[in-house]
Amino acid sequence: MRLHDYLDKGASLGVDRPCLTTDGTSVSYADVVRLSHEVAAALVGSGTCEGSRVAILSANDPVAFTCVFGISRAGAVWCPINPRNEAGENRELLELFGAEVVLFQPGFAPLVAAIRDELPGVHTWVCLDGSNHGSVTWRDFLDRGRGVVVPDRLDPPGADELAMLVGTGGTTGRPKGVMLTPTNLETMTALTLVGYPFDGPPVYLALAPLTHAAGVLCFPVLSLGGEVVIMRAPDVGGFLRLVEERGVTHTFLPPTLIYMVLGHPDLDSTDLSSLQCFWYGAAPMSASRLEEALVRIGPVMAQLFGQTEAPMMISMMPPADHFRADGSVATERLTSAGRPAPLVTVAILDEDDRPVAPGERGEICARSSLVMAGYWKNPDETVRTLRHGWLHTGDIGFLDDDGFLHIVDRAKDMIITGGFNVYSTEVEQAVLAHPAVQDCAVVGLPDDKWGERVVVVVQPQAGARVDPDELIAFVKQRIGSVKAPKEVHVWPDLPRSKVGKVLKTEIKVELVG
């Protein structure tokens, strides 16, 4: 299936059903399908051909998301561009992708103005409303498709066909372009539908950016004729209201936003009974906060673990796996990432790519039709990451006796102190169990005595005070003195990436001075 096939499948179940809902207004499947055909014709009328790269620079928006299906109908490749990136990073991505068309929201006109002269390969810039900003207006763009016939693509996708080019790695060096095929996304969709509860047509609430996990989760929802409720900007209070008002059945949030939901005064008075599946992922979640969520949000929490290179579903933990057979919370599993997905083989390999003994720690590697085709125009990095046919994730972990995958750290974040390996994720779980801590990050800093010392930076809960000595004692009681932090810093907030991940590199720079 190509991307537009998910939309068409949903339309076949009822063209009058609500498809995309934003700000209380819904558009039907018929309307979205019609507009996607118009976008496809406009792209072809603008010179787009099969395999052309078309970028979308937009916050969450129904028109921008509809363009994804028009890009697919035209035979082009969707390049989602994170609107939170700096101008220079987006210029670099667009140049790397060889983008020929950029569709952008008017709010990003200043960013476009700053980079357009450096991107001569982009022949068409389209502003997604009636304004111009030195670009083609939305209406003029659609007019280019009048009289253009884009035939339905009845042939199956070819082995080398791309559905998406996704940027990754911009925080650690030059960005890479992950090549995702129709098969990759079809595998992800199949795993989602098989592995998580879907009872009746779903109503999916997208608060997180549609350029990332929240966007690709729309495809399985659309294939069932579901409704996607799009939030233009993060608003936890608005999120809770929409769950109740729209009867939301499925949603996804990273842990940072779930912590905000748990701290919101309206949570306990909001009717969340419609929820079937509340996905969390993209970063480790505190086991104590997850246990709280299972009680206050409901027995609907569902973990997923993946990477851009293997979207979403390397391993899965549906709601039922959070509980034992007697209905009690399976606390021993809450620090895991679930079991490897049914269509994914996971191996734990050592530095020489040899399997480690059961229960031992090594690099998490995966083999599946879920795994990317490679990195765009980067054969050396492709060979390094996919060596021996396995995706090398860069995550350190182990498989327990019950087959649950535990991620203990990123390989680059492991701390060696006094000759012992300390995994920052384990220390963070202990710190996050403290009731005064909202979020934290553990890093290793150079130390004359220990080689590296364990340092934690904490963000307190609203109105709470963190006492460093008391926190160190609290952690020692849980994981021992070797792993406990030698140093505690209290910051009002932690530096984060454009998708909310804590930037440990920036923390180290700040602490070292």
d(CA 219, CA 224): 9
As beta bridge partners, residue 364 has 348
Question: Quick one: which H or E segment has residue 429?
Answer: helix 424-432
Report the SS3 class of residue 78: strand
- Provide the pLDDT for residue 364: 96
- Other CB atoms within a 10 A radius of the CB of residue 398 amount to 19
The answer to whether 248 and 242 have CB atoms below 8 angstroms apart is yes
- Other CB atoms within a 10 A radius of the CB of residue 167 amount to 25
Report the SS3 class of residue 494: coil
Q: Write down the residue that tokens 């937009």 correspond to.
A: 58
CATH topology of domain 183-341: Rossmann fold (3.40.50)
**Cα four-point dihedral sign 27, 32, 38, 43:** positive
What's the pLDDT tens digit per position in 260-287?
999 999 999 999 999 999 999 877 788 8
What's the pLDDT tens digit per position in 88-137?
888 999 999 999 999 999 999 999 999 999 999 999 999 998 777 779 99
CA distances from 47 to 41, 51, 167 (A): 10, 12, 24
Nearest to 504 by CA among 424, 408, 395: 424
Backbone torsions φ then ψ of 429, nearest 5 degrees: -60, -40
Alpha helices in 236-395 (DSSP H): 236-246, 255-262, 287-296, 379-385
Given a cut of 60, is residue 326 above it in pLDDT?
yes
Residue 259: both structure tokens together = 């912590």
CATH topology of domain 414-512: GMP Synthetase; Chain A, domain 3 (3.30.300)
Residue partners of 258: CB distance under 8 A and separation at least 6: 280, 285, 289, 293
Q: In the chain, count of helices (H) and strands (E)?
A: 16, 26
What's the pLDDT tens digit per position in 337-363?
999 999 999 999 999 999 999 899 999
Same fold, 183-341 and 414-512: no
Given a cut of 50, is residue 172 above it in pLDDT?
no
Given a cut of 80, is residue 497 above it in pLDDT?
no
Output the average pLDDT for the chain: 92
User: How do beta strands 203-206 and 487-490 pair?
Assistant: unpaired
CA distances from 25 to 33, 70, 123, 248 (A): 17, 21, 34, 15
Range in 152-156, 234-238, 416-420, 432-436 the model is least confident about = 416-420
Q: Write down the residue that tokens 């990317």 correspond to.
A: 372
Residue partners of 332: CB distance under 8 A and separation at least 6: none
113 vs 86, residue with greater confidence: 113
d(CA 407, CA 380): 27
The answer to whether 385 and 393 have CB atoms below 8 angstroms apart is no
Span 221-229, average pLDDT: 98
Nearest to 350 by CA among 403, 396, 407: 396
User: How do beta strands 420-422 and 415-417 pair?
Assistant: antiparallel
CA distances from 380 to 242, 351, 383, 487 (A): 46, 19, 5, 40
Given a cut of 90, is residue 155 above it in pLDDT?
no
List of long-range contacts for 146-151, beta carbons under 8 Å, 24+ apart: 146/41, 146/45, 148/41, 148/42, 148/44, 148/45, 149/41, 150/37, 150/40, 150/41, 150/44, 150/73, 150/74
Backbone torsions φ then ψ of 267, nearest 5 degrees: -60, -50
Nearest to 304 by CA among 294, 312, 296: 312
Residue 226: both structure tokens together = 């579901």
CA distances from 343 to 101, 175, 219, 223 (A): 35, 29, 18, 19
Identify the DSSP state of 2. -
- Provide the pLDDT for residue 159: 82
Three-state SS letters, 18-36: EEEEECCEEEEHHHHHHHH
Nearest to 209 by CA among 253, 273, 168: 253
**Structural domain boundaries in the chain:** 3-152, 183-341, 414-512
d(CA 314, CA 39): 33
Given a cut of 70, is residue 171 above it in pLDDT?
no
**Cα four-point dihedral sign 255, 261, 267, 273:** negative
Span 225-241, average pLDDT: 95
Pick among 3.40.50.12780, 2.40.50.100, 3.40.50.300, 3.20.20.140: CATH of 3-152: 3.40.50.12780
Backbone torsions φ then ψ of 364, nearest 5 degrees: -75, 120
- Provide the pLDDT for residue 512: 85
- Provide the pLDDT for residue 21: 97
Nearest to 431 by CA among 423, 440, 422: 440
The answer to whether 83 and 103 have CB atoms below 8 angstroms apart is no
Strands (E), 25-100: 25-28, 53-57, 77-81
The structure's pTM equals: 0.85
Confidence tier at 447 by pLDDT (50, 70, 90): confident
